[in-house]
């Protein structure tokens, strides 16, 4: 999942503080008006065209909105790949999961619409998720997610057991024995930048 933030305060705070009125500051920095509209109320004041003021600041290794919020606020840091300067996840930030966008609200998350096509350029790659058989004591079953250009490439990459292939299971251990030969494709989501 990706975390998107409006970085106007982080990037322009000194310039904004020199402007005498809020109205004038919002004219000079439209992203400030967007920040003020959503930073306390979340999706209630959201407009799809506001997406132009957001940037992807991190990739977070989780498939759960609540976990993303927790990871971005208290860690673990190794679940976050920082792509730009960021602050902790807060109201008004956006979580992107494929083509689905959620705004962090004062209480929970709300699915939002974004302006058609803005910033969504296909990379020609997909995230392939497979149901994988594995065995470890009494547990069995799990998923493996791989970014690749084709399903065949994803299967080849997965079976080569590269260290950066993400194995998503409910059990934190390296003692699993995976059977990639019988992996069943669950989903293929196009990757956008």
- CA-nearest of 60, 75, 57 to 5 is 57
pLDDT for 96: 93
Q: Which of 27, 37, 31 is nearest to 12 (CA)?
A: 31
pLDDT at 173: 43
Q: What is the pLDDT of residue 60?
A: 93
Which residues, in sequence order, are bridge partners of residue 167? 144
Query: Does the global pTM surpass 0.85?
Result: no
Q: Residue 1: its pLDDT value, please?
A: 93
pLDDT by residue for the chain (193 residues), tens only, comes to: 999 998 887 777 778 888 888 888 888 888 888 999 999 999 999 999 999 888 899 999 999 999 999 999 998 989 999 988 889 999 999 999 988 999 999 999 999 998 876 555 556 677 777 776 655 444 445 666 667 778 788 777 766 654 444 444 433 444 445 555 667 777 666 665 5
Among the listed residues 33, 74, 73, the one whose alpha carbon sits nearest the alpha carbon of residue 52: 33
φ, ψ at 15 (rounded to 5°): -65, -40
Distances (CA, A) of 116 to 30, 34, 108, 127: 20, 18, 25, 22
What is the reported pLDDT for 134? 54
Give residue 144's pLDDT.
67
Domain ranges of the chain: 2-112, 122-192
147, β-bridge pairs: 127
């Amino acid at each position: 999942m990706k975390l998107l933030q409006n970085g106007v305060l982080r990037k322009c705070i000194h310039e904004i503080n020199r402007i005498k009125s809020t109205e004038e500051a919002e004219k000079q920095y439209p992203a400030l008006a967007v920040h003020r509209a959503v930073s306390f109320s979340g999706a209630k004041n959201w407009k799809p065209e506001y997406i132009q003021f957001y940037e992807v600041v991190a990739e977070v290794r989780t498939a759960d909105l609540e976990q993303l919020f927790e990871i971005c606020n208290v860690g673990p840091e190794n679940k976050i790949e920082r792509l730009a300067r960021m602050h902790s996840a807060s109201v008004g930030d956006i979580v992107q999961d494929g083509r689905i966008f959620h705004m962090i609200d004062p209480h929970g998350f709300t699915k939002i619409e974004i302006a058609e096509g803005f910033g969504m350029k296909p990379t020609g790659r997909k995230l392939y998720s497979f149901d994988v058989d594995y065995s470890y004591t009494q547990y069995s079953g799990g998923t493996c997610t791989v970014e690749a250009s084709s399903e065949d490439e994803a299967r080849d990459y997965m079976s080569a057991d590269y260290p950066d292939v993400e194995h998503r299971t409910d059990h934190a251990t390296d003692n699993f024995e995976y059977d990639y030969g019988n992996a069943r494709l669950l989903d293929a989501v196009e990757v956008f930048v």
